[in-house]
Structure 1
Amino acid sequence: MEIKADVRRVIDAQSQLGEGVLWDAQRQVVWFVDIKRHRLWHYDPDTGSNCFTEAPGQIGWALPAEGGLLLCGLQDGLYTFDPELQTFTKLMSVPGEPAGNRLNDACTDPWGRVWFGSMDDSEGSASGRFYVFDRGEIRAAGPSGIAITNGPAVNRAGDRIYFTDTTAQKIMVADLSRDGVGEARPYVDTGALFPDAYPDGPVVDAEDHVWTGLYVGSSVARFSPSGELVATIAMPARDITKMAFGGPEFATGYVTTATKNMEPGDMEKYPYAGGLLAFDAPVKGFAQPLVKLS
């Protein structure tokens, strides 16, 4: 079912690879990144103010953490970012990661752990895999042997986690608990539904449904807990990377977009490409837990 929405561009960010959008419930702002331009953006919907900070490398994500910091995934490892001082500080490298890999997407779970994925920066080799950062320690957890990882995404109860294999056009799901993660199993074969598009960043809503951006698909799609496609919303951009629920009631959808694979003719067709988009969501999201750094 296609849902009609009045989608607007709230920032003309001109992102090459906009990603990692999320709502910071404490500060009441949106954070997102432009991976290829090494930019960490924030946007205040109350005032419309926005700006970016240059990161010391390709930055895949930034998550609010305890102590007023953000935990960020860069190409060479995990960093903290201090929004007051506007400074990045390296925390640790990811053990065993190939030099040509980078970090791409992440989420928190109810226990303050961070689940994140790595990928080949050239998007060719299946050298990516998923990890968990748990109070200062990193360990491999979840699927491996993936060219482009996306997600993970954790549901509100914290008993399910979703992993995306973008190149294979598949989303997987696994059981989750405080003790760890189970074996990943098939959830959605998006290639059967959208053969010309690729599943990008996922997020779970308050009704336990999964939303995913569709790269080269000009839309976001919503799936039931059993993996049935229940809705799509068209976007005024071609390459949709990730969606988040934000605002005081978590009733606004925020969407990041990309331009790095677009030609001048594509840009004429999709003038909002590279921007941060927003719309009134038909369902609500929920607050993401803070990262526990130690």
Structure 2
Amino acid sequence: MTLKHHQPECILDLRASLGEGPVWIEAEKSLYFVDIVEARVHRFTPETGAVKSWTAPKRLGFLLPVNDGTFLAGLVDGLHRFDPKIGEFSAHTEVEPEKPGNRLNDGCVDPEGRIWFGTMDDGEENDTGSIYRVVHTPEGLSITHHDEGYTVSNGPAVSPCGKILYVCDSPEQTIFAFDIDAAGNLSGERVFAKISNGYPDGVVTDSEGTVWCGTWGGARVSRFRPDGSELPPIPMPVSNVTKVAFGGDDLKTVFVTTARKGLDEDILKKEPQAGSLFAFRTDVAGSPQNTFRLNG
């Protein structure tokens, strides 16, 4: 697979309804990602072009690697374990049972092996979403509530140093930043960047701390320096760009998930590969994919 610098090419013509949450698993040389609407997990191996897919019991927003070879998945109702070796999901911890209109949306793992994830109003109208942190203790998973008031929480992402958390509220067209202390507490909420053309979706950071943001309705990957100033975006051939992941042997291949959701037939005729997986090369390596740390 020969890719060009900052020139996206379709590498998997999947046409997902809502492709999201790409993560590069170095041990498998493969990219895992989800289709939220279709409740599907996909694994793509670029070297061979092989694709394997699984159906989740419910819609899922993210799939994050655990240090025992499994994944922790954010389904509509809470956290589930997924074992790709046997292809099975098992319910783990319910989240926000008192808010049946909410669902889990996006997540990441920080350098300390903690998971950060957000919830959102499934109808995308009410600001009932929150941000949570997950750690593993001898008693099991410990989930801590940290912030609230999000209609569609997105991202989140952590800086390479592990001291800054980036979170989007997509309808507000805003990326927020928080400071993370040694104990994993958040403080210093501030506006990191605003997006005027489109809506910020999933964000990740590269090895230099640049924030890469999939831009829903903006047909581009937006990029911001650590100080919040904007770098030239990467134009995409489809409107709904959801999230990127860095992979390949040098972590300089950028994989991009996209979506067909929300596009009418006229737009889909112009963007037939909407929902597919794209990739291009870049000059700064991404940060290695962190894994959720099980203690013991």
Q: Normalised by the size of structure 1, how large is the TM-score?
A: 0.94
**Aligned-residue offset at 1:93:** 0.6
Counterpart of 1:288 in structure 2 is 289
- 1:46 maps to a residue whose letter is E
Aligned positions of 1:249-288 closer than 5 A: 249-288=250-289
**Aligned-residue offset at 1:4:** 6.7
Aligned length: 287
- 1:6 maps to a residue whose letter is Q
Would you say the 8 A contact 1:4–1:234 is kept in 2? no
Find 1:140's aligned residue among 130, 137, 145: 145
Q: Secondary structure at the match of 1:238?
A: coil
Q: How far apart, CA to CA, are the structure 1 residues paired with 2:163 and 2:215?
A: 25
Q: How far apart, CA to CA, are the structure 2 residues paired with 1:96 and 1:177?
A: 29
Q: Secondary structure at the match of 1:183?
A: strand
Extract unaligned runs of 5+ from structure 1. Answer: none
Q: Deviation digits for residues 223-268 of structure 1, max 9, x if unmatched?
A: 0111001121111111001111111110001111111101111111
Aligned positions of 1:83-232 closer than 5 A: 83-95=84-96, 97-135=98-136, 136-141=141-146, 143-180=147-184, 181-191=186-196, 194=197, 197-232=198-233
Would you say the 8 A contact 2:19–2:242 is kept in 1? yes
**Aligned-residue offset at 1:96:** 5.1
Would you say the 8 A contact 2:79–2:94 is kept in 1? yes
Q: Normalised by the size of structure 2, how large is the TM-score?
A: 0.94
Q: Secondary structure at the match of 1:123?
A: coil
Query: Cα RMSD (Å) of the superposition?
Result: 1.4
**Aligned-residue offset at 1:95:** 4.1
Would you say the 8 A contact 2:96–2:102 is kept in 1? no
Q: Deviation digits for residues 41-100 of structure 1, max 9, x if unmatched?
A: 110111110121000101100011021101100001001111100000111111455111
Counterpart of 1:234 in structure 2 is 235
Extract unaligned runs of 5+ from structure 2. Answer: none
Would you say the 8 A contact 1:23–1:30 is kept in 2? yes
Flag the 1:285–1:189 CA change in 2: closer, same or farther, 3 A: same
Would you say the 8 A contact 2:16–2:275 is kept in 1? yes
- 1:126 maps to a residue whose letter is D
Would you say the 8 A contact 2:5–2:282 is kept in 1? no
Q: Secondary structure at the match of 1:182?
A: strand
Flag the 1:71–1:234 CA change in 2: closer, same or farther, 3 A: same
- 1:224 maps to a residue whose letter is R
Query: Share of identical aligned residues, percent?
Result: 38
Q: Secondary structure at the match of 1:81?
A: strand
